[in-house]
Every structure is written in structure tokens, then in C-alpha cells.
Amino acid sequence: MIDFLQMIASGIAVGSSYALMGLAMVIIYKTSEVVNFAQGEMALLSVFLTYMGLEYYHIPYYIAFPGALAFAVFLGCFLEFAVLRRAKEPNVLGMIIITIGLEMILLGFVSWKFGADPKTMPFPVSPYDSVMIGEVFVSALEVLTFVVALTVMVILFLFLRYSKLGVAMKATQQNYTAARLMGIKTNRILMITWGISSLVGCVAGLLIAPVTMQPYMMWDPMLKGFAAAVMGGMTSLPGSVFGAYIIGIIENLFGGYVSIEFKSVVAFMIIVLVLCFKPSGLFARHYVKKV
Amino acid sequence: MDMKRNYYEDVQLFSSGVVVFWFSVLIVALGVYPFVVKNYYVYMANYMAINIIVAIGLNLLVGYTGQISLGHAGFFAIGAYGTVILMAKVHLPFLVALPLASLVAALFGFLLGLPALRLEGPYLSIATLGFGLTITQVIGRISLFGGRQGLHTPELTIGPWHLTTDRDFYFLLITITVLLTITARNIVKTKVGRAFIAIRDADIAAETMGVNLLYYKTLAFAVSAFYTGIAGGLYAFVLRFIEPEMFSLLMSIIFLAMVVVGGLGSILGSIAGACLLSWLDLELRNILSIPYLGEWLEALSKSYFSITGVSNIQFIIYGLIMVMIMLFEPLGIYGFWIRTKIYWKTWPF
């Protein structure tokens, strides 16, 4: 029983970082119908620049981390402004190709600058300190990840529901032309969307970095986050969070009881099964396609 | 001009004597090529030919049928492992093992095509991506497939011929490539190809017009997987060694990049894209030995980046090419070619 609870606990911790990546992808997909494969590498660049600041220039934490988040927002806005907006006659596949291209540029840049060998990120909370909750051991970092993820979700929820900018984003999602006619600067909204998404991704990256840090570290969380988002319906924020926790927990249970070797691919098998029965995810609204 | 007066003119292989002439010149040039260049360039041609087969197969799926796939490395792996296993363990001859392994790949393509009937866009991309990753993981864990250590390919003998050098293999490979290219061209020019294109443009409309979606979507996946499987089986013999780590997500992405860079929905484009990206892949590995540019890059790298050299620079260049092509010429190299052709046709007016 303790084993079971232990696996659930670490599943929730892993699920939190998937949830952040999934949220980041959903925010962009909802507004602009772009599947952003560069999400992980955008976070990767911010994380490695933070590492550089902390390790080489000895910047204190309280400057470095907000700096990283600010850089992430800038990077997201810049990529939307400089690349995505310039696409002629965009279609789904073309956009996917552009984001994959961006991903490779960022990945190549990071592994050129920092090399492929693993590094240790200096971080105020150690992944090796453990905390007892009831009879279950969890590391301090896992607790922090969970708390931060929840905070980000609540802030996002409040932001989208109550702030003027959040409502404008929702309007842009629902009807681009009508939003434009109502005086919303939709281009600017798209840019801000990318900034916010990049920020959320960067939070996930900073929380993953203390455990594993090398140029490919964001691939797995990004793909799992994407899988979670697809499972939740790709347009639903609560859906992607739900999907992420489900994937995190099932992955850990599968790794513990069935086979540790296939732990990393079981998520995709679940996705394919879910998609066979609910082709547009668990939480997506049903819509009728017109010819 | 390009006016077609009857059905035969639309499907015929050569539209005029000029085309026949240039086609024969191409065939002769391909035949002479390995005798006039160094061995390295023969190897490069082999590498290109394999990528051409994959790019054509993938283009049938992505460019003509409009179904995205991020899992083609999985079919590639099935073709490679299938061929090697059938030859080494079952002792089948190469010319039987290769089509058999590709048929297995096609079967997997058919199975992947079934969920694809209900999926599109990001949903389809995550399903195919999951397929590709799963295949790699499964192959890496099964001891019959050599596990993580990989497999060495057996000796390649076809009838009385013993193919040992790159040049021997070149002739086999080019023959298969030319045959598969002509087959693909026939597929897209006839009924099946028109059904694919109808599905790409509007699948519901196609269904109301009487195109059987179940049949043609799964057929597109199966044909595409068959092509990729053949290429995989041949690739094993170009490298003479295969391991599961090679068939990564990155490989699927590069295949997709070839198709898009070359031009979606065009066989000529697939060939151009595959040649360009495989050439870049091989050449960028020794980018530092290019005069001037290499020295400049090395100086730049030493002063601003790492001291270990420019190991991953091909990623940056690939990425730049993909982004630039999509931004400035969404139809890829083929679109560029069409525009140039039209420009010169009416020049100087």
C-alpha cells in the first residue's frame, strides 16, 4: 500500500511538470492553432542562460530566476513577431514545420554553446532532501514543483477569467475577425500569448533542470505535455492538466508494477487508445465540420 | 502548353520526345556516375537514393493525402530490422527478404492508418509520433533484434553476384529507386492518386463523391510505409550495421523536413529535397574544412561559444532552411522551380 501511495505521489510530482508544458502548448494552440514543437527548446534556452548567469557570473537567485522568466517572455514574443507572423498562407502542417525548425535552431544553439555533457543546476531547493507526508517520502523539489504548478494554474485561471487582457485573449480564440472588429489588436494578443506560453514553459524547465540538465532534457517533458494536452482535447486548459496527472500517475504505476523498461512509451499507448474512442480528446467540445 | 486533350495524355509517362531524350540521358549519367567519381561520392549517392525513396513515400502520405506523420522512423526501423533478421535468422535471399520486410512495414502502416481515419492535425501527429517512439523502444528491448548492441548485416549476395563495395550496391539501389519513382508517379497520376488528392483537399466532400475513405486512407499509410520499409532495408546495407538508437524522433523529423523543403505534393520536389538535405547532412559534418567559411566559423566558435568545436551546427542550418523555406516559398524547391520555369517561358515579356 505504501508502495502504491509512493508511486502515486511521484506520479503527481512528474505530472506537475507535464501539466505546465501541456498548459503552455494549449495556450498557443487555442489562440493560433499552431502546435508549438519549439516549446521545450524555448524553455531550454532560458534555463541554460540562467545556468550561465548563476554559474559563471554568480548572479544571486533572486535576480536570476525573475530574469529568466522575463527573458522567456521576451523570447516568446520575439519568435512570434519575427517568425510566426511572417508566414505566408499558413496551414497546420506548415506551422508545425516552422516550429520544428525553430526547435532545431534553438537546440543546435544550446548544444553548440554549452556542449552535450550533463550539468548540475545550482538551485535553492535540493532534489535530494526528502519530506515525509504521512508515510510517503517526497523530495523537497517535488513538493515545490507541485506547489508552483498549482499556483501557475490558479493565476492562469484568474488571469483568463477576470483580467481585461485575458478576456481579450479569449475573444481572439473564439472569433478572430469579430475580435478584430471590436477593436482588439489581435496581432498583439497573439504575441502576448506566445510570451505567456513561453513563461509557463520556462517555469517547467527551471523545475526540471535540478534533476537532469543537458540539451535534450526538455524532449521528454514536452512530448508528454503535448500528449497530455492532446488527451485533454488540445483546447481545454483543465483537460490538459487532468491528462498530465493521469499520464504521470499511470506511467509511475506501470513502471512499478508491470515493466520499468516500457515506462516511457506507455503514455503514448494510452493516448492512441483514448484517441481511438474519443478522437478529439476527453474534454474537447464536439463540433461539426463543414465541407 | 500544358493542355491535355484526352485521358491517355494525362497518364502517359513521357509527354514528348524531349522528355524521353532527357530521361535516357539521366539513366546513362546515373550508370556512368560511379566510374568517374571517388568512392566517397558513390557512398553519398547511395545515401541520397535511400532518402529519395523515403521522401517519395512520405510525400504520398503527407503531400498527396494530407495526413501528417511523425513516425516514419518506425517504418524505416521495421524495414531495416525485418530485412536483416529475415536474411540472418531465416536465411531468405535478399530479394525475398526486402519485399517481405517492407510488407510487414506496410501492415503496420495499415494498422496505424486505422486510428488515422478519425484523427487529424495535432491528434494524428501525436499518434504517429507515439508509434515511432514505441517501435524504437520495443526493438531495443527484444534480444532477437540484438537489443541495444545492434546488429551487423549479413553478406549481400544476389544470385551469382556478390555485392561487397559501395559501387556494386549503387547499381542495385539506383535500379530500385528509379523503379519506385516511376511507380509513385503512376500512382499519383491514376485513380488512386486522384482519390488521395481528393481526400487531402476535402475528405468529407471526397466521401460524398464516392471515394472510400477507409480504403484509400489506409492504403496511403500502407504504401507510404512500404516505401519507407524498402528504404530501411537498403539503408541497413549501406551502413552495414544497425542499432535502435538511430531510428529516433529526429530521423522522422528530418524525413518530414525533406518532403516539406522539396515541396509538398510533388515527386520532383521530394527528390530535390532529399538530395539537398542528405548532401547537407554529409557535408556539414566537416564544415570546418571548407575554406574561409570554416576558419571564420572556428574563430567565432572559439571566441564566443565553446572550445570543443562546432559539433551540432547542422541542426541550426537545418532549422534555418526549414523556417526560411516555409516563410518565403511555402511550396519548397518545387515551387521555386515552377516560378523560374514560368518566368523564363515568357521572357522577355
Residues of B in contact with A268 (CB under 8 A): 126, 129-131, 133-134
| Domain housing B89 | 41-345
With 80 as the cut, is the pLDDT of residue B175 above it?
yes
Phi and psi angles of residue A152, each rounded to the nearest 5 degrees, phi first: -60, -40
Place of cell 507572423: A85
Domain for residue B253, yes or no? yes
Domain for residue A288, yes or no? no
Q: Span B57-65, mean pLDDT?
A: 92
Domain for residue A175, yes or no? yes
Residues of B in contact with A108 (CB under 8 A): 312-319
Domain for residue A282, yes or no? no
Alpha helices in chain A (DSSP H): 2-32, 39-56, 61-82, 92-114, 140-162, 164-174, 176-181, 186-208, 219-232, 237-257, 263-277
Nearest CA in chain B to A261: B141
Q: What is the pLDDT of residue B194?
A: 92
Residues lower than pLDDT 70 in chain A? 285-291
Name the residue facing A268 among B130, B264, B308 (closest C-beta): B130
Name the residue facing A264 among B129, B137, B204 (closest C-beta): B137
Domain for residue B24, yes or no? no
3-state class of A136 per DSSP? strand
With 90 as the cut, is the pLDDT of residue B48 above it?
yes
Per residue in B333-342, pLDDT (tens digit) is: 898 999 998 8
CA A229, distance to chain mean position in Å, is 9
Confidence of residue B2 (pLDDT cuts 50, 70, 90): low
Return the CATH number at A197.
Answer: 1.10.3470
Q: For residues A127 and A141, is the Cβ–Cβ distance under 8 A? A: yes
Q: How far is B238 from chain A (nearest CA, A)?
A: 26
Nearest CA in chain B to A268: B130
Q: What is the pLDDT of residue A22?
A: 92
Domain for residue B217, yes or no? yes
Residues of A in contact with B62 (CB under 8 A): 93
Q: What is the pLDDT of residue B193?
A: 92
Q: Give chain A's domain count.
A: 1
- C-alpha A48/C-alpha A213 separation (Å) is 9
B123 and A234 within 8 Å at the Cβ level: the answer is yes
Nearest CA in chain B to A225: B126
Q: Residue A132: beta bridge partners?
A: A137
Q: What is the pLDDT of residue B7?
A: 81
Per residue in B5-17, pLDDT (tens digit) is: 888 877 788 878 8
With 80 as the cut, is the pLDDT of residue B99 above it?
yes
B319 and A101 within 8 Å at the Cβ level: the answer is yes
Per residue in B247-289, pLDDT (tens digit) is: 888 889 889 889 988 888 889 999 999 999 899 888 877 777 7
Nearest CA in chain B to A37: B122
Residues of B in contact with A104 (CB under 8 A): 253, 315-316, 318-319, 322
Q: B301 versus A154: which is more confidently predicted? A: A154
Per residue in B108-155, pLDDT (tens digit) is: 999 988 888 888 778 888 889 888 888 888 888 877 777 777 788 887
Domain for residue A180, yes or no? yes
Q: Give chain B's domain count.
A: 1
- The pTM score is 0.89
Residues 195-214 of B with CB under 8 A from A: 202, 204-205, 208
Domain for residue B120, yes or no? yes
Domain for residue A234, yes or no? yes
Domain for residue B148, yes or no? yes
pLDDT over 70 for what percent of chain B?
97
Q: What is the pLDDT of residue A278?
A: 79
Domain for residue B211, yes or no? yes
Domain for residue B36, yes or no? no
Domain for residue A197, yes or no? yes
Q: For residues B129 and A225, is the Cβ–Cβ distance under 8 A? A: no
Q: What is the pLDDT of residue A138?
A: 81
CA atoms within 13 A on the CB side of A136: 18
pLDDT over 90 for what percent of chain B?
34
Return the CATH number at B212.
Answer: 1.10.3470
| Domain housing A162 | 2-277
Domain for residue A284, yes or no? no
